[in-house]
Amino acid sequence: MRKKIAKITGVAGYVPDYVLTNAELETMVETNDEWIRTRTGIEERRILKDKSKASSDMGAEAVKLLLEKTGVSPDEIDLLICATATPDMLFPDTANVIRDKVGIKSGFGFELSAACSGFLYALTVGAKFVETGLKKVIVVGADKMSSIIDYTDRTTCILFGDASAAVMLEPSEDGTGILDSVLESDGVGRNFLYQKAGGSLHPATQETVANKEHFIYQEGRTVFKYAINGMVSSIKQVLEQNNLKKEDVQWLVPHQANMRIINGVANMFDFPKEKVMVNIQKYGNTTTATIPLCLWEWEDRLNKGDNLILTAFGGGFTWGATLLKWGY
């Protein structure tokens, strides 16, 4: 008997209207368009300007569109997992805020925290729930990165943008779907990429605010090296475990943190440019939204049966690779 697996049956995304260009960043910090383009590949990113809106509002927009596209009604949803590094609040969790904003009363929801690998982790967890009996699971990545960026720090403010994107998971009848995942993590990474204050170790005080400890801190060069090594090793492992050669893969869907990292990973496997999904130039690094945002943009070009490898690296450190056979 064929093992029950989950497949993606729909994908939708949301990006805010405001476009923050490299030219505008030049007026804010000592940087320039050429440096940003050549070092990162980013040309512009989207920013949620409305201060009354949060990650959940972007997540809710993506989920509403997903329900519309798939023709699924909110009361059919068994589970909604929200991956985010920028929850609306420390608690309650953002998944349940999204569920409320969309009108989902059935089933349950929870938030999952794995920084830029959040979507990959959440997709794997969501798939496991489908494998054990749930029928309709939504996985959404939503991040208002602008809420934790110091727009006077040129080393981080050029990198990130705001967005969300979501997928529907349902049981697969035809062998397509999420076939395997290699997920890894190493807490040594907590020293190189973090938001210091706001948790139980350093609760908010006047000092933490004055010292800008509620913003992202990153040692870029160290993260860069770990990112390439991590993604390459998990892609290798997932290929080996499934007796696949790199030629068997139609699409590489990498986390969009830096064009040089994406090229570094793709080159290790000789993946030609045409097989690699890249939209970093338009959105920058949207943390948990990068991978589903790519799937959303490429949806029309995907064919049933295509083998996709999704790969990510993020704070923690967390990283991994997922192999899936596109289902529609």
Quick check: 263 binds ligand UT7 (CB under 6 A)? Answer: no
Interface residue with ligand UT7 among 314, 316, 320, 327 (CB under 6 A) is 314
The answer to whether the CB of 81 falls within 8 A of the CB of 138 is yes
Tell me how far, at minimum, the Cβ of 241 lies from ligand UT7, in Å: 25
27 binds ligand UT7 per the rule CB under 6 A? no
Q: What is the per-residue binding string for ligand UT7 in 101-140, x denoting contact by CB under 6 A?
A: ---------------x------------------------
Q: Of 306, 176, 316, 173, give the one whose Cα is nearest residue 252.
A: 306
Shortest approach of ligand UT7 to residue 161 CB, angstroms?
12
Q: How do beta strands 137-144 and 79-83 pair? A: parallel
Q: Which stretch binds ligand UT7 (CB under 6 A): 32-40, 99-107, 171-179, 236-244?
A: 32-40
Residue in the shown chain whose Cβ atom is closest to ligand UT7? 220
We find the least distance from the C-beta atom of residue 160 to ligand UT7, in angstroms, to be 8
Torsion of CA 146, 148, 151, 155, to 10 degrees: -110
* Chain center to CA of 238: 19
Among 223, 280, 302, 310, binds ligand UT7 (CB under 6 A): 223
Does the protein bind ligand UT7 through residue 221 (CB under 6 A)? Answer: yes
- Measured in degrees and rounded to the nearest 5, phi and psi for residue 72 equal -95, 140
Binding mask 133-172 for ligand UT7 (x = CB under 6 A): ---------------------xx--x--------------
285 a catalytic residue? yes
Q: Which of 82, 157, 255, 258 is catalytic?
A: 255
Collect contacts of 307-310 with beta carbons under 8 A, ≥24 apart. Answer: 307/244, 307/248, 307/249, 307/250, 307/251, 308/249, 308/250, 308/251, 308/252, 308/253, 309/235, 309/238, 309/239, 309/249, 309/251, 309/252, 309/253, 310/120, 310/123, 310/253, 310/254
Marked catalytic residue, from 22, 82, 96, 116: 116
Catalytic residue flag (residue 157): no
> DSSP for 92-134?
S-HHHHHHHHHT--SSEEEEE--GGGHHHHHHHHHHHHHHTT-
Q: Decide the pairing of beta strands 251-254 and 307-314.
A: parallel
Cβ-based nearer residue to ligand UT7, 134 or 223: 223
State the nearest-atom distance from the C-beta of 203 to ligand UT7, in Å: 25
Write the binding mask 34 to 73 for ligand UT7: x where contact by CB under 6 A, - elsewhere. Answer: -x---xx---------------------------------
What does residue 269 show for φ and ψ, rounded to 5 degrees?
A: -110, 10
**Length, in residues, of the chain:** 328
Q: How many residues bind ligand UT7 (CB under 6 A)?
A: 19
**302-305, long-range: CB within 8 Å, 24+ apart, which pairs?**
302/251, 302/326, 303/250, 304/176, 304/328, 305/176
Task: Identify whether 116 is a catalytic site residue.
Answer: yes
Beta carbon nearer to ligand UT7, 22 or 176: 22
Which residues are known catalytic residues? 116, 255, 285
Judged by the rule CB under 6 A, the positions of this chain that interact with ligand UT7 are: 31, 35, 39-40, 116, 154-155, 158, 220-221, 223-224, 227, 257-258, 261, 285, 313-314
